[in-house]
Amino acid sequence: MPELPEVQTVASGLQSVVVGKTVVQVEHDWPKSFPNSLQTVDDHLLGATITNVSRRAKIIRMDLNTGWAILVHLKMTGQLIYNLDIFPDSTTRVIMTFSDGTKLYFNDQRKFGWMILIDQTEIDRLPLIQRLGPEPLNRDFTWQVLRDRAMKHKRTSIKATLLNQSVLAGMGNIYTDEALFLAGIQPARLTATLTDEEFKRLHLHIRSVLQQSIDLGGSSRQNYLAVDGSKGDYLDDPYVYGRQGRQCKVCGSVIEKTKVAQRGTHSCPICQI
């Protein structure tokens, strides 16, 4: 599933290609992927110009000059691809055509993702937005904020706590495993057992792995592609994610794969305590 760096890469890519474009046609074949009625599309999307693209957690927001916005969640296999002539294909759920003839494709093989049209004034009231924790790369996300929010979940593993989008937004399986490795913390540890020093390290490495992955264009483990169809490079060289059975890059021990928080979890038995 795309995590914060992948969604940020898509949002940044969209920002550079669709802002200023005017939507003239929308085709969609699957109501769950695009639930709005024809009337709503007619009233608020057709003829509208995209004014800005941003990201909150794993949700992409495209503002329109009609006061409405398009929200997109890529979920497991969603892609937003701009004007690449290998699309549409069998995974394409929505095609948006702009007045200059270019197209934006929302592809989603597994059909868990969605694209919705919504009044901008309603976005902050959506339950899925309201329950989100802070953005880990924002300046006001300090290690104390991480600790205080995490400590509301003392009896769960630190991995489950980090995956909880109400604690902090945008973390998924890959970057949680990577950050816990760099911080030297076993994913299965109960949150309550972490010291302030460990929260400081964890905070530092959550931000560093996310930023490093954004710099590398994200991780393309499965379906994830950037707006121009390119793959991300982060998983070319991870510390632990997907490296079970191989040597730890730091100590040479064998990286283990276990199950924590119902997720496949990668860790080093020596570097992480």
Q: Is 187 a catalytic residue?
A: no
Q: How far is the CB of 260 from Zn ion (least distance, A)?
A: 17
Bridging pattern class, strands 103-108 and 114-119: unpaired
Q: Is 58 a catalytic residue?
A: yes
Q: Choose the binding region for Zn ion from 21-29, 33-41, 192-200, 265-273 (rule: CB under 5 A).
A: 265-273
Q: How many CA atoms lie within 13 A of 82 on its CB side?
A: 16
In sequence order, what E strands does 40-175 have? 50-56, 59-64, 68-73, 78-82, 92-98, 103-108, 114-119
Q: How far apart are CA 234 and CA 218, in angstroms?
A: 6
Fill in the DSSP letter of residue 41. H
Alpha-carbon distance values, 124 to 119, 131, 169 (Å)? 10, 10, 15
Q: How far apart are CA 260 and CA 226, in angstroms?
A: 29
Position 50 contacts Zn ion (CB under 5 A): no
Question: Of the listed 75, 149, 200, 263, which one is catalytic?
Answer: 263
Nearest to 177 by CA among 75, 261, 245: 261
| Near Zn ion by CB under 5 A: residue from 38, 84, 251, 254 | 251
Q: Which of residues 91-130 bind Zn ion (CB under 5 A)?
A: none
Under the phi-then-psi rule, with left for phi > 0, alpha for psi from -120 to 50, and beta for the rest, what region is 126?
beta
| Near Zn ion by CB under 5 A: residue from 18, 69, 160, 268 | 268
Q: How far is the CB of 267 from Zn ion (least distance, A)?
A: 9
In 31-137, which ranges are continuous DSSP H helix? 38-44, 120-123, 127-130
Position 256 contacts Zn ion (CB under 5 A): no
Per the DSSP assignment, residues forming a β-bridge with 199 are: none
Task: Please tell me the count of residues contacting Zn ion according to CB under 5 A.
Answer: 7
* Cβ-based nearer residue to Zn ion, 53 or 268: 268
Q: Is 127 a catalytic residue?
A: no
| Near Zn ion by CB under 5 A: residue from 248, 260, 265, 267 | 248
Position 254 contacts Zn ion (CB under 5 A): no
Q: Is 3 a catalytic residue?
A: yes
- Give the x/- contact pattern for Zn ion in 191-230, rule: CB under 5 A: ----------------------------------------
* Cβ-based nearer residue to Zn ion, 48 or 271: 271
* Cβ-based nearer residue to Zn ion, 101 or 252: 252
| Near Zn ion by CB under 5 A: residue from 30, 216, 250, 257 | 250
Q: How far apart are CA 170 and CA 55, in angstroms?
A: 10
Question: Of the listed 21, 55, 56, 58, which one is catalytic?
Answer: 58
Residues that are catalytic: 2-3, 58, 263
Binding site for Zn ion (CB under 5 A): 248, 250-251, 253, 268, 270-271
